[in-house]
A and B are shown apart, each in its own frame.
Chain A
Amino acid sequence: TQLLEQSPQFLSIQEGENLTVYCNSSSVFSSLQWYRQEPGEGPVLLVTVVTGGEVKKLKRLTFQFGDARKDSSLHITAAQPGDTGLYLCAGARGAGNNRKLIWGLGTSLAVNP
């Protein structure tokens, strides 16, 4: 059972287009993180959202945490080829040594020039 549904799984768009990636769950997370991963490398943290309803912006990327802390979205404005990569969301549960990240399946984004 996938506890964190991420969609779409694959996305191919033209440079300049906007896109939104969604992560949804029926369970509450203490925080949710978005990562970007390039081939052959480990994921790199983009942002952590903690508060329900929170919105964070990172240049052309806008991240939102749902009011109930069960879902999140990543919106990219005017996508560029450099945005190409695998985007992963991960929800945190537990604390201390019992803290675990629940991963979405990932969204493979290709931005064509």
Chain B
Amino acid sequence: GAVVSQHPSWVICKSGTSVKIECRSLDFQATTMFWYRQFPKQSLMLMATSNEGSKATYEQGVEKDKFLINHASLTLSTLTVTSAHPEDSSFYICSAPRITEAFFGQGTRLTVV
């Protein structure tokens, strides 16, 4: 099946620094990718929709200046958490749709200390 690779799997950073998370579709092209945030044992919360060649669409309540999304190619989308704070610590997951299904990356565990 289709594969989506997310990197890094986990990252620890200091408060105030920025962290970039990459999401790649390995064997198909994705004009759209989705970024989610997830808290323990809870469902996925859609943060934004990444659109290749255009601006991302952010969900209500998500700060676009804090969570920068770039979709520079048909196989790569990046999420940069800027000026990270401890409350940004979470599990971030990307997904890319292919035909009628969504394929997910492995997720990134971000811990801000």
**Chain A interface residues toward B at CB < 8 A:** 6, 10, 31, 33, 40-45, 48, 50, 86, 88, 90, 92, 97, 99-101, 103-106, 108
Contacts and interface: CB of A to CB of B under 8 A. Distances in A.
Contact of A42 (B6, B51, B97, B100): B6
A88 B107 contact: no
Contacts of A33: 101-102
A45 B41 contact: no
Interface string B47-90: 00101000000000000000000000000000000000000000
B11 interface: no
Interface residues of B, number: 26
B44 A43 contact: yes
Contacts of B105: 42
Contacts of A108: 41
A10 B42 CA distance: 10
B93 interface: yes
B32 A48 contact: no
